[in-house]
């Protein structure tokens, strides 16, 4: 349904009419809602449960941690594991003592002062490995000189020959290398980001648990992701039916907006509830998933990428000596991009002179040359 937004835009364009305006709503509510979210996996790793309070809309989201809770996980056999608070509001398992097992069932219990919370009992479903992740160049058009412009679509294939995993969720972290086109000390850096979208798939409607050419990520040329080298680490999670239903609802309410047929918004609460008063909403979800991982590198030449640094050069410096007050609001860079003898320019943007402002100059361990 989100495409209906397009048609609205389209009609608007026909008629040179409709439009979208930004605004900040005036909300007179004061909610301190508890958010419990976290995941236990079958991996040999520390599992985290985060407990916090939700924040009013319109502010930058930095959760307010809830400290000093007693957090335990109980499995199908009644074994209880205690989690310890590693940093405010973050409760972790000890990887040497606890590791999720496929087909086991887990329940989360939280005691926060006098209030007790509990999750439903969730089953861990097995997950198959990711078959393959691959990309294709997408020709999106031509620039004014007839040069084609390319972007990139990343696909994922997976299948569970045993048909045990019917519901999938994916998320990924992406890292890309970027290089400042100037002679500066910190010119080569890496930047990372996490997917923020709900990516789920229900294969119970097919006669096999099989996902082909699933468009997991589209990389546009608006950022430098395609310029040098790009990498993506995809996590594939198995979901039980309840968790799939949760994500599907959340997705439906949060993504089908901005068109003619917006879904009536409704708050969706997860699988955690307060024991003495189930009417008090508890947000978030206690996930129990097996995980499979796969990394892909994209080291290719995409045509028609824009110049991301055209705004950098401020003024050419003819004076060869040091310049006083530099490095406070202006920086000196050496431009050798034209192949001509390099010349010195002044820039007023620090990110043009130092890549660590946007990324890190520490090469990730998995980054092969």
Partner 1 sequence: MKVRTLILIFFFISSPFAGSQEEYIISPDYQGLSFEEFVTRIEAYHPVRFFFNEEWIKGLKLPQFDRNIHLTDLLDTLLTGTSLYYYLDEAWNVVLTKDFAVRITGKPEPEERKYIPGDDYTGIVEEAGTAGNLVMNIGNQADRNKPGNAIISGYISNLNTREPVAGATVVIRELSVGTISNEFGFYTLAVPRGSYTVRVSFLGMKERLIDVNLYGSGEMNIEMKSTLIPLKETVVTAEKNVILRRFEVGVEKINIVSFRLLPTSMGEADIIKSILLIPGVQSVGEGSSGFNVRGGTSDQNLILLYGAPVYNPSHFFGFFSSVNSDIIREVTLYKGGIPSRYGGRISSVLDISPRDGNRREFAGNAGISPVTTHVVIEGPIKEDTCFYLLSARTTYSNWILGLMENKALRNSRASFYDINGRIAYDINRKNKIDFSGYFSNDGFRFNSDTIYRYHNNIFAFKWRHFFSSRFFSGVNLNNSYYDYRISSDKTPGEAFMLSHRINSTELKADINWYQGSRNEFNFGINLTRYEVLPGSFRPAGDSSMVKPDIIQKQRALESALYFEDKFIVTDHLSANAGLRFSTYFAFGPQSFYIYNDAYPKSSSSVTDTLHFGRSENYRTYAAPEFRLSLNYRLNDNSSFKLNYNRTKQYLHLLSNTTSISPSDTWKLSDYYLKPQVGDQFAIGYYRMLNRKKIEASAEIYYKMIDNLVDFKGGTKLVMNKYIERDLINVEGRAYGVELLFKKQEGRFRWSIGYTYSRILTRTTSNLREERINSGKWFPANFDKPHDLVLTFNYLYSRRFSLSANYTYSSGRPITYPVAAYKVGNIVLTYFSERNKYRIPYYSRLDLSMKISGNLKSKKIAHPHWIFSLYNVLGRQNIYSEYFKYEKNKVQGYMLSVFGRPIPSVSFNFDF
Choose among 334, 326, 333: nearest CA to 353: 333
142 touches partner 1 by CB under 8 A? no
Nearer to partner 1, 112 or 262 (CB): 262
- Nearest-angstrom CA–CA distance, 108 and 63: 20
What is the size of the binding site for partner 1 (CB under 8 A)? 84
4 touches partner 1 by CB under 8 A? yes
- Nearest-angstrom CA–CA distance, 323 and 287: 57
Considering only 46, 56, 101, 337, the residue that binds partner 1 (CB under 8 A) is 56
Bridge partners, residue 273, by sequence: 118
Considering only 180, 226, 283, 345, the residue that binds partner 1 (CB under 8 A) is 283
329 touches partner 1 by CB under 8 A? no
Pairing type for strands 229-239 and 167-179 reads antiparallel
Give the side-chain half-sphere CA count within 13 A for 77: 6
- Nearest-angstrom CA–CA distance, 55 and 59: 7
Nearer to partner 1, 15 or 328 (CB): 15
Taking the complex as a whole, the smallest distance from the CB of residue 200 to partner 1 amounts, in Å, to 11
What is the length of the chain? 369
Q: Which of residues 146-175 bind partner 1 (CB under 8 A)?
A: 171
112 touches partner 1 by CB under 8 A? no
Q: Which of residues 203-222 bind partner 1 (CB under 8 A)?
A: 205-208, 210, 212-214
For the sheet with 209-219, list strands across it.
Answer: 130-142, 148-160, 209-219
Q: C-alpha distances in angstroms, 366 versus 72, 134, 178?
A: 35, 18, 16
45 touches partner 1 by CB under 8 A? no
Q: Which of residues 7-26 bind partner 1 (CB under 8 A)?
A: 7-25
**Residue that the structure tokens 């790793």 belong to:** 45
Nearer to partner 1, 58 or 320 (CB): 58
39 touches partner 1 by CB under 8 A? yes
Nearer to partner 1, 184 or 245 (CB): 245
Q: Which of residues 252-281 bind partner 1 (CB under 8 A)?
A: 252-254, 256-268, 270, 278-279, 281
- Please answer whether residues 296 and 157 qualify as being in contact, where contact means their C-beta atoms are separated by less than 8 angstroms: no
60 touches partner 1 by CB under 8 A? yes
Nearer to partner 1, 51 or 180 (CB): 51
Nearer to partner 1, 206 or 343 (CB): 206
Nearer to partner 1, 157 or 294 (CB): 157
Considering only 168, 170, 190, 285, the residue that binds partner 1 (CB under 8 A) is 285
- Nearest-angstrom CA–CA distance, 341 and 66: 59
CA angle 240, 244, 250 (to 5 degrees): 150
Taking the complex as a whole, the smallest distance from the CB of residue 26 to partner 1 amounts, in Å, to 8
Q: C-alpha distances in angstroms, 217 versus 133, 156, 199?
A: 10, 9, 10
114 touches partner 1 by CB under 8 A? no
Nearer to partner 1, 253 or 305 (CB): 253
Pairing type for strands 229-239 and 34-41 reads unpaired
């Amino acid at each position: 349904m989100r495409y209906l937004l397009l048609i609205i835009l389209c009609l608007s364009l026909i008629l040179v009419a409709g439009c979208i305006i930004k605004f900040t709503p005036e909300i007179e509510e004061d909610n301190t809602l508890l958010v419990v979210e976290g995941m236990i996996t079958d991996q040999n790793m520390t599992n985290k449960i985060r407990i916090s309070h939700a924040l009013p809309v319109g502010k930058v989201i930095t959760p307010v941690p809830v400290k000093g809770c007693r957090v335990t996980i109980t499995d199908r056999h009644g074994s209880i594991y205690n989690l310890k608070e590693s940093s405010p509001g973050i409760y972790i398992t000890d990887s040497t003592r606890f590791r999720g097992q496929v087909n086991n069932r887990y329940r989360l219990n939280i005691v926060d002062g006098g209030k007790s919370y509990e999750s439903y009992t969730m089953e861990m479903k097995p997950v198959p490995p990711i078959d393959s992740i691959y990309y294709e160049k997408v020709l999106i058009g031509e620039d004014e000189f007839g040069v084609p412009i390319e972007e990139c679509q990343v696909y994922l294939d997976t299948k569970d020959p045993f048909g045990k995993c019917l519901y999938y969720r994916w998320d990924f972290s992406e890292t890309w290398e970027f290089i400042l086109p100037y002679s500066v000390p910190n010119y080569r850096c890496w930047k990372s980001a996490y997917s923020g979208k709900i990516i789920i798939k229900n294969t119970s409607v097919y006669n096999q648990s099989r996902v082909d050419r699933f468009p997991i990520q589209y990389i546009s040329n608006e950022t430098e992701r395609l310029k040098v080298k790009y990498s993506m680490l995809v996590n594939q999670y198995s979901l039980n039916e309840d968790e799939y239903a949760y994500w599907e609802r959340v997705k439906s309410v949060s993504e089908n907006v901005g068109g003619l047929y917006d879904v009536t918004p409704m708050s969706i609460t997860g699988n955690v509830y307060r024991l003495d008063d189930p009417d008090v909403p508890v947000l978030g979800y206690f996930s129990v998933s097996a995980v499979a991982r796969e990394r892909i590198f994209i080291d290719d030449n995409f045509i028609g990428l824009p110049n991301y640094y055209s705004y950098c050069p401020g003024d050419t410096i003819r004076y060869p000596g040091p310049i006083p007050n530099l490095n406070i609001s202006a920086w000196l860079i050496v431009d050798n991009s034209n192949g001509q003898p390099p010349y010195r320019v002044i820039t007023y943007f620090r990110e043009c002179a130092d890549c660590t402002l946007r990324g890190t100059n520490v090469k990730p361990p998995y980054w092969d040359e």
